[in-house]
Chains A and B, each alone.
Chain A
Amino acid sequence: MIKKSFTKENFVKWVLTAFALSSLLFLFLIFAFILFEGLPLFLKIGLSKIIAGFKWAPTKGSFGIFPMIVSSFLVTFGALIIGAPMGLSCAIYLSEYSGKRMKMFLKPALELLAGIPSVVYGFLGVIYIVPLVRNYLGGSGFSLLSTSIILGVMILPTIISISFDALTSVPRTYREGSFAMGATKWQTIYRVVIPSAKSGILASFILGMGRAIGETMAVIMIAGNALRIPVSILDPLRTLTGNIALELAYATGDHRLGLFSTGVVLLVIIMILNYIANFGIKRKVIK
């Protein structure tokens, strides 16, 4: 008999396994690094003084990032208000109405939209959106509104592609059953297709939020980066990501640790969003 031996097949399997696990290792390293650098300040100053503190003056011992947490959520919801209806409409059009030729044209265009570097979005924002807001609505133009508009466009590809997948995975038989009962196309979409794809659509919104809250470059270019809670949509604001990017280059000592604490908060928020999105998607698969 020929004995089994350590063959090329086994070798390939082990190499692939090692690479697959390395991505897990990177994730672990990032976590360990951020927590290692960020936690000491939490222990020293206290969680509440950082998370609920209003004043950010890191060279004078104040590390309050509450305004930035609020600002991050404001731009994220602003982006969702603009991006969600547009993205969902586009996904519905693509999956239910568009012909094959239109789909062949639109899908690559959306992939291109996803591939544009965020600095280009920021550039467009500074050149067009900011002056537009300044001239027609007032303020400096560097504002919650401008940032929300740009982020809303940036999250479109995420929302569209995931919603599209959710809509197209609704069985054809559901649609036929609905048509056979005298439903129009829109009635079928509204009453059968969208409810069936609901969890996937919600997951697309949440992943879009994750994308918006993590965006940095475009945001620091348009947001104005002022250190306070905005009271109107025309006020400037500073997000968690913006705070780190703006100050890390020159920060030392406790200031530097403060930025890592900002990172810890950001990481926790993104983990929560991802968990919610995955939970939504998993429920769909089980059903």
Chain B
Amino acid sequence: MDIKIKIEKLKVAFGKNEILKGISADVFKNQITGFMGPAGSGKSTLISVINRMIDFEDHVAIAGKVYIDGEDILGEEIDDVQLRRRVGTVFAVPIPLPRSIFENVAYGPRLQGISDRIKIREIVRDSLKKAFLWDEVKDRMNTSALKLSGGQQQRLCLARTLALVPEIILLDEPCSGLDPISTAKIEEALDELKKDYTIILVSNNTKQIARITDFVSFFYMGDLIEYGPTERVFTNPSIKQTEDYIQGKFG
């Protein structure tokens, strides 16, 4: 398996508060890698380093390296806007723009300078299909995205990320506010998508992690406690803390 993202001794601190305390891990191509751990363990911060959204925060100190395809993305000369076109993100709370369904998905391709109407329509349709939303919205593409249900909005956010044609998709607790049926639809979509993308899924839901990830890492208090194939970690965790977390003894 190829390594897509290589994280080396990554440390992140907000002011005096150290959130990540020296993480090293390899994320493999065309696999779903889960990040799990209790709140405050640093998994969302790690996401915001990989898509460089952390640039918008104040008083952040970052040390260590993150490579995507061997290129250090934390380097000064890396254009964070270009990076975010390669690394798509779906947030915990679905935040569609206050526009139509169509415009939400077309937003990314238009930013990249695609203006051919037929091509944009094609991208929008394909993206919505991949996110398992097409059938539900194909007849009302011009209604406001804010009128969709929570589960539909989250799939719309997935679709608009796919429309960027990224290489990596980061999902930060995408199902935390969704009902079981919507969650199942997202999981189904992700399972299809890993053929073409490298996916990182942050989740507090250990059952979800066990269901759909290929690899899993367990974070606790800014440290990476355990990392390995999901099946192995869940059946035979090598560290006591991981076992306790999986069994729901804390979290």
Q: Nearest Cβ distance between residue A189 and chain B, in whole angstroms? A: 13
Asked if A178 lies at the interface with its beta carbon under 8 angstroms from chain B, I say yes
Contact B84 A177 (CB under 8 A): no
Asked if A176 lies at the interface with its beta carbon under 8 angstroms from chain B, I say yes
Asked if B108 lies at the interface with its beta carbon under 8 angstroms from chain A, I say yes
Q: Which residues on the B side are within 8 Å of A174 (C-beta)?
A: 95, 97-98
Q: A-side binding surface: helix, strand, loop or mixed?
A: helix
| A204-240 contact mask (Cβ, 8 Å, vs B): 1 or 0 | 0000000000000000000000000000000000000
Given A182-B81, A182-B82, A182-B85, answer yes or no on A173-B93 (Cβ-Cβ < 8 Å): yes
Contact A182 B98 (CB under 8 A): no
Q: Which residues on the B side are within 8 Å of A182 (C-beta)?
A: 81-82, 84-85, 108, 111-112, 164
Asked if A192 lies at the interface with its beta carbon under 8 angstroms from chain B, I say yes
Contact B56 A180 (CB under 8 A): no
| B21-35 contact mask (Cβ, 8 Å, vs A): 1 or 0 | 000000000000000
Contact A176 B91 (CB under 8 A): yes
Q: Which of A69-111 contact B (CB under 8 A)?
A: none
Q: Which residues on the A side are within 8 Å of B164 (C-beta)?
A: 181-182
| A156-185 contact mask (Cβ, 8 Å, vs B): 1 or 0 | 000000000000000101101111111110
Q: Nearest Cβ distance between residue B73 and chain A, in whole angstroms? A: 14
Contact B96 A180 (CB under 8 A): no
Of listed B85, B111, B157, B160, residue having the most chain A CB within 10 A: B111
Size band of the interface chain B makes with A = 20 to 34
Contact A177 B91 (CB under 8 A): yes
Given A187-B111, A191-B107, answer yes or no on A181-B95 (Cβ-Cβ < 8 Å): no
Q: Nearest Cβ distance between residue B14 and chain A, in whole angstroms? A: 17
| B188-231 contact mask (Cβ, 8 Å, vs A): 1 or 0 | 00000000000000000000000000000000000000000000
Q: Which residues on the A side are within 8 Å of B157 (C-beta)?
A: 177
Contact B98 A196 (CB under 8 A): yes
Which of B53, B93, B98 contacts A179 (CB under 8 A)?
Answer: B53
| B84-100 contact mask (Cβ, 8 Å, vs A): 1 or 0 | 11001101010111110
Contact B161 A181 (CB under 8 A): yes
Q: Which of B135-171 contact A (CB under 8 A)?
A: 157, 160-161, 164
Closest to A185 in B: B81
Closest to B144 in A: A287
Given A182-B85, A182-B111, answer yes or no on A177-B98 (Cβ-Cβ < 8 Å): no
Q: Which residues on the A side are within 8 Å of B242 (C-beta)?
A: none
Q: Nearest Cβ distance between residue B171 and chain A, in whole angstroms? A: 12
A174→B107 CA distance, assembly (Å): 13
Q: Which residues on the A side are within 8 Å of B44 (C-beta)?
A: none
A177-B96, A180-B161, A182-B111 are known; give 13 further A-B pairs, CB within 8 A: A176-B53, A177-B97, A177-B157, A180-B51, A181-B88, A181-B107, A181-B161, A181-B164, A182-B85, A182-B108, A183-B111, A184-B81, A191-B107
Chain A residues with CB under 8 Å of chain B are 171, 173-174, 176-184, 187, 191-192, 195-196, 287
Q: 10 tightest A-B contacts by CB?
A: A182-B85, A173-B95, A181-B108, A180-B89, A177-B95, A182-B84, A184-B81, A183-B111, A187-B111, A182-B81
